[in-house]
A and B are shown apart, each in its own frame.
Chain A
């Protein structure tokens, strides 16, 4: 580990940002679950409680001009770029000031002002697009990096392979993070995928592969930081496999009953937020009371955001016809 990353691993300068961001996502998702559970919102939603460290650690490396593409389980990733929770709630609630004016919905958060270029509901489809954004950055010599999150299930779809191949052959500044939560929809990874180390996919495309504990926000931050440095230096793409777990089912209608007894509990014991809180205490950066104050503060922020979104107006009917073409 280089000196700069050792310094960052001590995280004195950034721990509050990382902690607050993970808490923001956790509380946001808890409220979204309640909204759907109460029938206040129709459609489907895909929650990411338990996976916060991966998106927060990775997005903490984004600079202005960088681009981030995510999956339909994308609330966390987009919030981690700095998007407004009020606008995010409003999007889910179908309100006019939503991130996409209510036209996207839960699976399609986009916030260009924070580099979130799109959350895609077609498995793997965002990967060729993220690679294309990296092609644009390389062509324009802008120094930007394209970051894409993707699920373990997407590593079996054609678009994943076409994207990695192009990234490899053109040595593009793209970092692809597999959020390996061990289930593709309802199916365990082993039932759909003949290899257990998804990072091995990188080898056949001449791409550097890294494995990281996806529930360790600092570990993710470090490995993604190094990948971003390589990308910015013209040294090509990186495929990162982050080992993590979703605490909820695949989607609103899935209670996750296919999970073997004890599995969820073992992952709850590795809750990324509690692990980070423990680390802060252990390193005497922040004690229980300080972390508790953060929980209270972010909790209040999310409650206020939800209230503001609920009070926001619905889009006017004429918005239906706008922005089909330019």
Chain B
């Protein structure tokens, strides 16, 4: 085991896959010579050279078009969209082209590509560099949606995404880049669509994603002090969604609280709540509670952004509401 940052895990994951498979190429704005604006891809250019680690113009449609076209020729591209907010600039490529091509061509064309992107708030960037947009992606048939919460999972899930036959949107939470975690030696590769129960508990199930996972864990600690035993599930991917792990836990605890960084309307927690209501409503002993950011653009000011983001205290309040 070695300790590694979430940031360094990104470069380690890309390196692991590029060493294994010569068809993997990596492209994006300032990803090569500069090592990425978040320094998450430092060293890759030196290791793999400019033919495989490629700087692009600031042109997101061109980046995703390059990735898609290259995937059609047999490469396995990893494209970086620097901030997930910029996906709006190239959303046509994501939603109309990349997601739909396998279906519209009747399976003639498959697109094994990964779009990595810095997602989420908590870093005072303001409303156009702070959004959590995994919901945008989740509602489109044909793409997979992944968001790791730990350095180890960055490696395991990014490796799985690269090896997947379908396009994967890989959300790296910006507020997690500096966090550290234990990472085992050797190759790491996970399976997409497997949630992790990061804390067992009997009284309530808290379902979280990415940066909300450590906050849910912190909330569980606070609840433990009150004698409430909370289970915490790290979803790790929204598509595929591990309904079995969620349902098994909810059946055992009788209570569900979802914790989302994204704005409230049509957040992924609503989908999870809907599934649980359909599948296990008679196992529920209290209301399903969603903890989200309010339905506002994220402000830059520290006091306002902190007020918007779900805190351990708000999660605790949500749990109390479900248990009341």
Contact = CB atoms under 8 A, between A and B. Distances in A.
Interface string A38-77: 0000000000000000000000000000010000000000
B96 interface: yes
A325 B108 contact: no
Contacts of A142: 73
A67 to B, nearest CB: 7
Given A104-B104, A112-B109, A166 B57 contact: yes
Contact of A108 (B67, B71, B104): B104
Contacts of B142: 324-325
A110 B108 contact: yes
Contacts of A112: 105, 108-109
A136 B75 contact: yes
B178 to A, nearest CB: 33
B38 interface: no
A23 interface: no
A132 B107 contact: no
Interface residues of A, number: 44
Contact of B107 (A134, A140, A323): A323
Given A166-B56, A323-B106, A324-B142, A133 B70 contact: yes
Nearest to B165: A326
B107 to A, nearest CB: 4
B104 A163 contact: no
A104 B72 contact: no
A298 interface: no
Interface stretch (A115-123, A206-214, A230-238, A252-260): A115-123
Contacts of A140: 73-75
Given A103-B103, A112-B108, A325-B102, A125 B96 contact: yes
Contacts of A131: 62, 65-66, 69
B61 interface: yes
Nearest to A127: B65
Nearest to B108: A112
B217 interface: no
B62 A165 contact: yes
Contacts of B74: 136, 140
A75 to B, nearest CB: 16
A305 interface: no
B73 A322 contact: no
A166 B66 contact: yes
A146 interface: yes
A326 B102 CA distance: 8
Nearest to B110: A326
Interface string B279-290: 000000000000
Interface in A131-179: 131-137, 139-140, 142, 144, 146, 158-159, 162-163, 165-166, 169
A252 B315 CA distance: 56
A158 B65 CA distance: 13
A162 B110 contact: no
Nearest to B59: A162
A322 B164 CA distance: 17
Contacts of A122: 92, 96-97
A140 B69 CA distance: 13
A323 B92 CA distance: 20
A325 B144 contact: yes
Contacts of A117: 72, 109
B102 A324 contact: yes
B53 to A, nearest CB: 12
Interface in A71-128: 98-101, 103-104, 108, 110-112, 117-118, 120, 122, 125, 127-128
B230 interface: no
Nearest to A161: B59
Contacts of A98: 106
* Central interface residue in A117, A131, A140, A162, by most chain B CB within 10 Å: A162
A198 interface: no
A108 B102 CA distance: 12
* Central interface residue in B102, B107, B108, by most chain A CB within 10 Å: B108
Contacts of A129: 65, 68-69, 72, 93, 97
Contacts of A67: 72-73
B69 A139 contact: no
A130 interface: yes
B25 interface: yes
A100 to B, nearest CB: 4
B106 A100 contact: yes
A128 B102 contact: no
A100 B107 CA distance: 8
Contact of A163 (B62, B75, B102, B141): B62
Nearest 7 Cβ contacts at the A-B interface: A128-B65, A132-B69, A136-B73, A326-B165, A133-B69, A101-B106, A136-B70
16 contacts: A100-B104, A103-B106, A104-B106, A110-B108, A112-B108, A120-B97, A128-B66, A132-B70, A132-B72, A136-B74, A136-B75, A139-B25, A139-B73, A146-B69, A163-B61, A325-B142
Interface of B: 25, 51, 56-57, 59-62, 64-75, 92-93, 96-97, 101-110, 141-142, 144, 164-166
Given A132-B67, A132-B71, A166-B56, 16 more contacts: A98-B106, A99-B106, A110-B109, A118-B109, A122-B97, A125-B97, A128-B61, A129-B72, A136-B71, A136-B75, A158-B61, A162-B57, A162-B60, A324-B141, A325-B144, A326-B166
